[in-house]
Amino acid sequence: MGNLFSRIKRTIEADLHDMLDQKEQKNPIAVLNQYLRQCEAETEKVRKLVERQYLLKEEFTKEYHHAKELSAKRKYQAEVALKASEQDLHEFALQEQLQYEERSRSLQASLVNATEQLEQLERKYNEMKHKLKDMNLKRLELMGRENMARAHHRMNKVLDNNAYSSGSTNHFDEMESYLESLEHQVTSTYYRNTIDAKIAKLERENKFENEIKPEKENKLEETHSI
């Protein structure tokens, strides 16, 4: 049973890997965008670590200076107690001074270590930011190249005589035929209307002349009869 589950698991993983490979081949820009988002997330985590390390450095610095001040203060108090012949107070102040000196040395070492770590984190963070910026610029370049490739592909597809063809005639040929037919129809309509108008004009003129001609003939007849 265990072997069966292991085989099923390996089969599913293999299918998943194949699917991811196909996705990368189909749309590499989308894969690159996903990778950049992951890099941005990691860079943001490092930025937060840098801020945290900076706060730690400030805390170590504050504690170090505080320990140094208390050490100096106890040293002065021990000297005052010694001059006053207060042996117990002198020993207590001296013991406190030694403790604060030891603490200040430890804090100084921690401060130096925190400062070095902060510098390393800042260098790494700056390197990550520059790398991320370069990758974003590279993505823009790849997107531009992909856009040009897609544009050329679509233009070639449109300009190809066989791309949108039905039989041997493509869409452009169909459009040209339609425009030619439309122009012929408009021209025919224009000439037909023009001819109709001219014929109507000739008919009106002919009718007017026919009306005038009988009047002239009547006048001539009257003149001859006189």
Tell me the sheet residues that pair with 166.
169
Contacts of residue 205, Cβ cutoff 8 Å, sequence gap at least 6: none
Neighbours of 92 (CB within 10 A): 15
| pTM for this predicted structure | 0.52
Token digits for 11? 């089969």
- Could you give the C-alpha distances from 90 to 66, 72, 159, in angstroms and in order? 21, 14, 101
Q: Decide: 88 and 145 in contact? Cβ < 8 Å.
A: no
Residue with tokens 């544009």: 151
Taking residue 107's Cβ as centre, other Cβ atoms within 10 Å add up to: 22
Positions of the chain with pLDDT under 50: 1, 4-5, 24, 163, 167-168
Residue 43 CA to residue 56 CA, distance in Å, equals: 20
Token pair in block for residue 224 = 């001859």
- Enumerate the β-bridge partners of residue 169: 166
Q: How much is the pLDDT for 186?
A: 67
Q: Considering only CA atoms, which of 138, 143, 145 is closest in space to residue 39?
A: 138
- Helix 28-83 and helix 2-26, axial crossing angle in degrees, nearest 10: 100
What's the maximum distance between 2 C-alpha atoms anywhere in the chain?
179
Cα distances (angstroms) measured from residue 127 to each of 44, 113, 163 = 13, 21, 49
* pLDDT for residue 6: 60
> Which residues in 8-32 are b (16+ Cβ under 10 Å) and which e?
eeeeeeeeeeeeeeeeeeeeeeeeb
Residue 78: how many other CB atoms lie within 10 Å: 21
pLDDT digits (tens, 9 = 90+) for 115-139: 999 999 999 999 989 988 888 888 8
